[in-house]
Amino acid sequence: MARVLFCLLFVGLAVTFASNRRLRISLHARENPMGSQLSQRFLSISTNTSSSNSTDRRIRLPLRNRNNVEYFGIVSMGTPKQMFKVMLDTGSSNTWLPSSNCARNNWACQNHRRYNASRSSTHVQDGRNFTLFYGAGSVIGYLSKDTLHFGGTQLPNLTFGEAMFQYQEVFDSVIFDGIVGLGLGERAWANSTPFLELLCAQQLVEECVFSVYLRRVPGSMRGGEIMIGGIDKSRHSGSLHYVPITEYGYWKFEISKVSVGMENIDMAVSAILDTGTSNILLPEQSFDKLHKALGATTDYDLTFVTCELDVLPNIKLLIAGRTFPITPRDYVKEVLLEDNIKVCITRFSPINLSFWILGDVFLGRYYTVYDATEKRIGLARAVPDVAIAA
């Protein structure tokens, strides 16, 4: 199959807002891997080097949570460190930050922290430009290299984009300044090694894996944690269920069946795990079937269901022989309208794609492991509401 088609796919970032009647903006990111070389890469993460002892080389990166729609962590770029809030996005592979050279009238850039290359002694020029396409706009700039600091670790020579222009409406309203892509090399800029592979190539972690624990406690800013280089067993209950990834680049795998009661919503369909998407996005025909099964009504591009959660069914995802339910508590959002009327909307959105995008709604319920060495993802029930000092 022509893998160049990757660049036409919608992936990555989707931000959803809910306030009063301005209920939802949903944006699906599209990405164009520059030059899209898609060379076959192999992760050779050598096992124990002779002398090194197994001190804990897992890196913990605490997350902040804004209203269960936006998760971000703190990293720094350069020497001395310049600090940024970043979205750690499993749905894309490239990293970018706003540039201090960005357009004066680009509020999305001016209202965020900006990276100033001339203040960093470790900055290296790349000389190439980039454009990342999103559903409703784009991020344009040029590539640089510098040292990324996060969770007490430093990662030298990370290629990242300095954004000169960011599409305003989307990137102005988010808290995070930029994005660190946690996807794999096939979807990264040509001749650049993305975050995870660079980290593994430099042997900064024991294992080429990371794990995501998203905390969804109303009103709490503590958003959970990404653990890089390992798995935190205290964050999940039951065994991890591993599934091979079906498309290297994405964290993509196959769902055998999606059902509601006796009703089949989808069969043998692919899905990606995407921390950069708030909701669950699904192909339009499946979306229609699902909403019929839930007795939902649609208005203002929103899908309303009853607020009596007890009468709503679970949605069951059958993945490699194990069922992963999504409950009404996960997929229903209560919204108070201006006149104090409570309505309930679902956290599902249709998308013109052939695969599902399992965003924060799913990742809040399930602890997920992203294993680049074994080319698989792991799923287990997340331990709900574990307090983390962030």
Ligand X SMILES: *[C@@H]1O[C@H](CO)[C@@H](O)[C@H](O)[C@H]1NC(C)=O
Q: Please report whether residue 124 would count as binding ligand X according to CB under 6 A.
A: yes
Catalytic residue among 177, 274, 360, 371: 274
CB 159 within 8 A of CB 189: yes
Q: Which is nearer to ligand X, 79 or 306 (CB)?
A: 79
Min dist CB 152 to ligand X, Å, is: 16
Q: How far is CA 183 from the centre of its chain?
A: 9
Residues in 216-275 that interact with ligand X by CB under 6 A: none
Contacts of 1 (CB under 8 A, 6+ apart): none
Runs of H (alpha helix) within the chain: 107-110, 168-173, 195-201, 284-293, 328-331, 360-365
Q: Please report whether residue 157 would count as binding ligand X according to CB under 6 A.
A: yes
In whole angstroms, give the CA distance from residue 141 to residue 319.
40
Among 48, 51, 234, 340, the residue binding ligand X under the rule CB under 6 A is 48
Among 39, 44, 118, 234, the residue binding ligand X under the rule CB under 6 A is 118
Min dist CB 68 to ligand X, Å, is: 28
Min dist CB 201 to ligand X, Å, is: 9
Min dist CB 63 to ligand X, Å, is: 27
The one segment of 71-79, 90-98, 120-128, 363-371 that binds ligand X by CB under 6 A: 120-128
DSSP strand pairing (96-98 vs 153-166): parallel
CB 12 within 8 A of CB 274: yes
Among 39, 46, 47, 105, the residue binding ligand X under the rule CB under 6 A is 47
Residues in 52-111 that interact with ligand X by CB under 6 A: 53-55, 100-101
Q: Which is nearer to ligand X, 65 or 166 (CB)?
A: 166
First and final C-alpha spacing in the chain: 44
Return the DSSP state at 193. Answer: -
User: What is the signed CA dihedral for 46, 52, 53, 58, rounded to 10 degrees?
Assistant: -60
In whole angstroms, give the CA distance from residue 343 to residue 352.
27
CB 163 within 8 A of CB 94: no
Tell me the chain's radius of gyration from C-alpha atoms.
20
Return the DSSP state at 230. Answer: S
Among 352, 354, 373, 385, the residue binding ligand X under the rule CB under 6 A is 352
Q: Please report whether residue 44 would count as binding ligand X according to CB under 6 A.
A: no
CB 5 within 8 A of CB 31: no
Q: How far is CA 30 from the centre of its chain?
A: 13
Min dist CB 142 to ligand X, Å, is: 6
The one segment of 30-38, 51-59, 168-176, 258-266 that binds ligand X by CB under 6 A: 51-59
Q: Count how many Cα atoms sit within 13 Å of the Cα of residue 35 in the half-sphere of its side chain.
A: 11
Q: Please report whether residue 285 would count as binding ligand X according to CB under 6 A.
A: no
232 catalytic per annotation:
no
Q: Please report whether residue 40 would count as binding ligand X according to CB under 6 A.
A: no
**What is the size of the binding site for ligand X (CB under 6 A)?**
19
274 catalytic per annotation:
yes
Q: Which is nearer to ligand X, 276 or 350 (CB)?
A: 350
Q: Which is nearer to ligand X, 156 or 313 (CB)?
A: 156
Min dist CB 184 to ligand X, Å, is: 20
Q: Residue 135 has which token pair?
A: 């559903």
Min dist CB 259 to ligand X, Å, is: 25
Q: Which amino acid is at 175?
A: I
Residues making contact with ligand X (CB under 6 A): 47-48, 53-55, 100-101, 116, 118-119, 124, 127-129, 142, 156-157, 202, 352
Q: Which residues are catalytic?
A: 89, 274
